[in-house]
Amino acid sequence: MVKVRPIVRRVAVAALLLSAGCSALLGLDDLTDLPAAPTTEAGADAGVDAPDGAPGKSTKVDVLLVVDDSSSMGDKSRLLASSLDPLLREIATAGDVHLGVITSSLGGIELCAKGRPSSRAHLVRTGADGGTLPSAASGFLTYDATKGVDAFIAEAKSVVVSVEQSGCGVEAPLESAYRFLVQPDPWNELGPPIGLGNSPYLGIDQAVLAERRAFLRPDSLVVVVMITDEDDASLDPGSVRGQGVAFAQLSFPGSTTQRPNGGTTAPRPTQVCATNPASPDCTSCGFGLTCDAADAGCLKIKNDPGCTGDGGPHYGATEDDLNVRFFDMKRRFGVDPLYPVRRYVTGLTEATVPKREEEHFRALPNGGAEYSDEYAGLPSCTNPLFAANLPQSDAEELCALTRGPRRSDQVVFALITGAPQSLLDDPSNPAWDQLVGVDPEKFDASTQDPHMRPSIAPRPSLAGPSPVRGDNGTDPAHGREYDTNGQDLQFACTFALDPVRVCDFGDPSCDCADPTKNPPLCTATLGEQARAKAYPGIRPLRVAKGLGDRAIVGSICPPPRKTYTDTMTRLAELLRPKLR
């Protein structure tokens, strides 16, 4: 059982105020409680990456497939299933293999609560027919040499195909993987955005703990395979001083600007955000609604041109569609409620990680710690991925685990996501500056390929929209841009569907049934879809870049009449020297 410590202490109101002179984004009362600085738990070997020694070889392999199950992923998950042979035949040579599947539908937020399953990173047990697959009843598949590798491959394909595309549209594949493999104390529920000094986390997910313990061996080679056709939107519940969950609500608290399709819009950013999101003056106009007008920083926000224009501090009724909310958020909202990419690089690399209540604490030179508005990730717990002993439930120790034998080079990441194939032609040297920009942490996208720039509006350097249905353009990566009506992003790449899909009208996974939209995916006949789409997968790509030679990347848009077999073959080749 995790020992509970007081997490709040009373401080002066002035100490709570942001540099802008305010703390409440959502119209909440002024907040006067700040989390207390934590103490490091005994047993957490802070800062140690892995035991010394030569890279080891593995006789055990644990494979985790992280499959985006949002709308439009059905065709891609089937392609993944049909591409698994090279990988599974290679790892079967180790003899002792676990294979589990989780989805990107993390849940816990209002936007995922209605009509969309939330798997919370629990292992998928179903087969292609929708029923429980007997061989996956425990949550994962185990390679049985007496049944042979072909049977193992068939079972794996069946589980992957069962994922389909009915999950949440706020995809969180990075956090799903982190939650299953790394998070010492995974939440059971997320509370409402209740503000600074109050935990948004409720309970411990016992299922994740039990499944992790059964699936993950301390001395195995761990292979994470992630497939997603959109960017990651892993929400940090502790962001924006505990109010970040508001961005995943249908109605933004404090806003009265109604969308045509329901709910209310989020606050705008201050003017400087459009050109310099890294500026200290880039913040949310929402802070100006509740701050102390006697404070100079508060007045600066209240009088900012970005907050005082037509429509006031909140976006207009058609300017904040929920389908496109979670991209370029610092520039577009003045705050970024998503977990930083470094959380996931660290989680797949370092021996210590933060417990959830300490994600917004940073270490001080004197050995203490202080609260941070931004995610700091104070490492105080042994990373379960690098632990020798894992808890079955929260009745056992969750944080001070014994360090296990796994090295960071025994954790491999493979990503299939939205990117033009031309940027990935050299498997050993992806065009990183063109994929993610020269310095995404500082918002420098000057080198980024235009196909990889998330945008609602048509991107000027690419072929423009066409009014002709069936004219899908000639750009080799994505055809052309299109008029999204403010409800979609432009694509990074597209690929041909074989056969052409005949859509059911009203099916949200179909892109060609709406006569008011003409994306570069359709035939001349309304309701026929000839191509599949993918958006720029910036955040997962940045994780892959951060992991260096432990990661491989493939485009989710394969060449004509091909699958993802080439990517799976490259992954098998990367793993071969690590197996025995």
Q: Where in the chain is the domain with CATH 3.40.50.410?
A: 60-236+342-350+380-432+542-578
Maximum C-alpha span of the chain: 76
Rounded to whole angstroms, the Cα distance separating 490 from 382 reads 41
CA 53 to chain centre: 33
Residue 282: the pLDDT is 98
Mark the ranges of the chain whose per-residue pLDDT is less than 50: 1-20, 27-34, 39-48, 52, 197
Three-state DSSP class for 373? coil
Using one digit for the tens of pLDDT, what is the confidence trace for 10-63? 222 233 334 445 556 654 444 334 455 554 443 334 334 555 455 668 999 999
Give the β-pairing of 96-103 and 60-67. parallel
Residue 44: the pLDDT is 38
Residue 47: the pLDDT is 38
Sheet strand arrangement including 60-67: 140-142, 96-103, 60-67, 221-227, 411-417, 551-555
Rounded to whole angstroms, the Cα distance separating 462 from 450 reads 7
Rounded to whole angstroms, the Cα distance separating 435 from 549 reads 17
> E-assigned strands of 205-305?
221-227
Residue 415: the pLDDT is 98
Phi, psi for residue 535 in degrees, rounded to 5:
-100, 165
DSSP-assigned letter for residue 579: B
Query: For the structural domain made of 60-236+342-350+380-432+542-578, what CATH number should be given?
Result: 3.40.50.410
Using one digit for the tens of pLDDT, what is the confidence trace for 241-290? 888 888 988 999 999 999 998 999 999 999 999 999 999 999 999 999 98
407-428 burial, b at 16+ Cβ within 10 Å, e below that, comes to bbebbbbbbbbbbbbebbeeee
Q: In DSSP terms, which residues pair with 555 in a beta bridge?
A: 417
Whether the Cβ atoms of residue 260 and residue 317 lie closer than 8 Å to each other: yes
Whether the Cβ atoms of residue 87 and residue 568 lie closer than 8 Å to each other: yes
Containing 362, the helix (H) or strand (E) segment is strand 361-363
**At 558, which amino acid appears?**
P
Count of positions (residues) in the chain: 580
